[in-house]
Amino acid sequence: MKLDDHPTVQRVRAKAPVAKSDAPLSADWLKQLALRHGAGDVGLVEVDRPGLADQRSYIRDVFPETKMVMAICSRMNREPVRSPVRSVANQEFHTVYDDVNDTARAIVTELSDMGIPACNAVAAFPMEAQLPGRTWTVAHKPIAVEAGLGKMGVHRSVIHPKFGSFILLDTVLIGVEADAYDQPLDYNPCLGCKLCVAACPVGALKPDESFDFLTCFTHNYRDFLGNFNDFVDAVVESKDMNAYRKRFSDQESTSLWQSLSFKPGYKAAYCLAVCPAGEDVINPFLEDRPGYVERVVKPFQDKEETLYVLPGSDAESFARNRYPHKDIKRVRRGVLTRSVAAFIAQLPLAFQRGRSKGLNSTYHWTFTGIENIEVTIRIADRKLQVTKGHHGDPDVRITADAETWTRVINRQYSVINAIVLRKIRVKGDMKLFRAFGRCFPG
């Protein structure tokens, strides 16, 4: 059968052609569409806005035709999130993730039926499981900020001006312009109260508002992908059940099974639970701050639970001093580093400020072999600076075969053997070289 004779082709050609228009869509209509399908709030941003410059390539990886992005949020119920019983809180998180994904999909369905190209991004974590590296495609938080749905708080989540921290985000990518766009808020709903800092069980949030990503990842996401890799290692490496149970208790095995079966469970997320910001949330905090702390914050602080930390990390010393009634379990870093480039990119995420106390040194690293990279790493005043190339006068020079170094940091090869065999060469004070390692435990 010729293409022209195919029934589908004939039916389509018999229909009146759909008139296509380049006219911008009504922003008001788009927002009403989103609200009608269940969004708690919505904002629109042109994809070429400078504030999205670092996100644009990822957005167009998902949907190359994108001209506008629609940020939406769905509300979570506050009291379930505040429950010290994490199964209750996790059910609320996952139910609302489903809600916001369903809302985004319904928006796209209606737009598509009208001939308007659109694609819903995914609201979940992790979205693209390619650890180490970026574990999501479209980053909802910066888009939501540009769309006026809130600002980032001390806890590194978006705080909505009305709903506070009790929201989950999604993004719809649309291939048509709008006739008006939203702008970021002119104030931050975050109160700066630091209750999120007080509630964090492993000290990932700092009083100076800095954030220790690796500490949060190690504990809060213990039942997510990183720990699953650790679980696989434990199964493969253990010669019998006794050896396995030294790594994973029966309770931990059951918890991981539950996460694999019923969606992964957050171990904490207390920072969101205790946040009093937002017009719908703030009254109890304003009326009785000590009572609010006693009712909302203290149950998390008093809770008996297991805290997961990397050996020698800031989190380990913090947890032992701050929460002596909580069990502390040392665990392995569950994600392998695939390359020297990935190792360098991960340094700011893994840096432990407390472990760098008193260190004031510059390191020139030269990697050879399968990756030829030069980088300067300076640690001073509990801060880390990583710069491409060699700059300044180094206190220590390290030359390393790239493949060997990757194996060393993945615990697959001994650093002592590598130095003896001159696959890693250190010129300078070895104490400073060891001090560098202490700043990046695990």
Give the 3-state secondary structure of residue 226. Answer: helix
Decide the pairing of beta strands 361-368 and 373-380. antiparallel
pTM over 0.85, yes/no: yes
The pLDDT of residue 258 is: 87
Q: Note the pLDDT of residue 18.
A: 67
Q: What pLDDT sits at residue 281?
A: 97
CB of 275 within 8 A of CB of 164?
yes
Amino acid making up residue 310: L
For residues 424 and 430, is the Cβ–Cβ distance under 8 A? no
β-strand pairing of 361-368 with 167-174: unpaired
Q: How far is CA 236 from CA 14, 15, 257, in A?
A: 63, 62, 17
Tell me the pLDDT of the chain (442 aa) as tens digits.
Answer: 899 999 999 999 998 776 666 789 999 999 999 999 999 999 999 999 999 999 999 999 999 999 999 999 999 999 999 999 999 999 999 999 999 999 999 999 999 999 999 999 987 655 555 555 566 789 999 999 999 999 999 999 999 999 999 999 999 999 999 999 999 999 999 999 999 999 999 999 999 999 999 999 999 989 887 778 889 889 999 999 999 999 999 999 998 898 888 888 899 999 999 999 999 999 999 999 999 999 999 999 999 999 999 999 999 999 999 999 999 999 988 778 889 999 999 999 999 999 999 999 999 999 999 999 999 999 999 999 999 999 999 999 999 999 999 999 998 999 999 999 999 999 999 999 999 999 998 7
pLDDT score of 133? 59
CA distance 35 to 41: 7
Coil, helix or strand at residue 216: helix
* Structural element, H or E, at residue 42: strand 41-46
What is the side-by-side order of every strand in the sheet holding 373-380?
A: 383-388, 373-380, 361-368, 396-401, 424-428
Residue 119 to residues 46, 70, 71, 303, 421: CA-CA distances in angstroms?
15, 10, 12, 42, 54
Residue 136 pLDDT = 76
Q: Give me the phi and psi of 144, to 5 degrees please.
A: -60, -40
What residue ranges in 129-206 does DSSP mark as E strands? Answer: 151-152, 158-159, 167-174
Distance CA 31, CA 372 (A): 50
Q: How far is 185 from 403, CA to CA, in rounded Å?
A: 47
Residue 122: what pLDDT? 82
Q: What is the Cα–Cα distance from 168 to 159, expressed in whole angstroms?
A: 10
Q: How many CB atoms lie within 10 A of CB 21?
A: 10
Give CA–CA dist 173/396, Å, rounded: 49
Q: 22-174 domain in CATH 3.40.109?
A: yes
Report the distance separating Cα 59 and Cα 65, nearest Å: 10
For residue 206, give every residue at least 6 positions away whose Cβ sits within 8 Å of its Cβ, in sequence order, or none. 197, 212, 353
Distance of CA 256 to the CA centre of its chain: 20
Domain boundaries, the chain: 22-174, 195-330, 340-438
Q: Give the residue among 64, 21, 78, 67 at the shortest CA–CA distance from 45.
A: 67
What pLDDT score was predicted for residue 124? 64
| CATH code of the domain occupying 340-438 | 3.30.1050.10
